[in-house]
Amino acid sequence: MTNLKLKRYVTAEKARNHPSLSVVYICPECNISRYLQHISRPSGKVKCTKCNKIYVKP
Ligand SMILES: [Zn+2]
């Protein structure tokens, strides 16, 4: 599965616990963050509703 992209200056550790996905991650396909949504919180899977692909947190 593909990893989400981290925003500049954000570490993977910091991003994992951040309450708001769009603040720390970017969709690697669309290069924007506003369509990212959690689909299952414990596993850390995230869906981009624009490209309809599933990503995982790095
Ligand atoms: Zn996307």
Q: What is the pTM of this model?
A: 0.90
Q: Extract long-range pairs of 10-16: CB within 8 Å, 24+ residues apart.
A: 12/57, 12/58, 15/57, 15/58, 16/44, 16/57
Ligand 1 centroid, distance to 33 Cα (angstroms): 8
Confidence (pLDDT) at 15: 95
pLDDT in tens, 8-23: 999 999 999 899 999 9
Ligand 1 centroid, distance to 3 Cα (angstroms): 12
Confidence (pLDDT) at 43: 74
Q: Which residues are within 5 Å of ligand 1 (an ion), measured at CB?
A: 27, 29-30, 48, 50-51
Alpha carbons 30 and 14: distance in angstroms, whole number: 22
Q: Taking a C-beta distance cutoff of 8 angstroms, is the pair 28, 2 a contact?
A: yes
The answer to whether residue 40 scores a pLDDT higher than 90 is: no
**Single-letter residue type at 54:** I
The answer to whether residue 25 scores a pLDDT higher than 80 is: yes
Q: Which two tokens stand for residue 31?
A: 């290069």
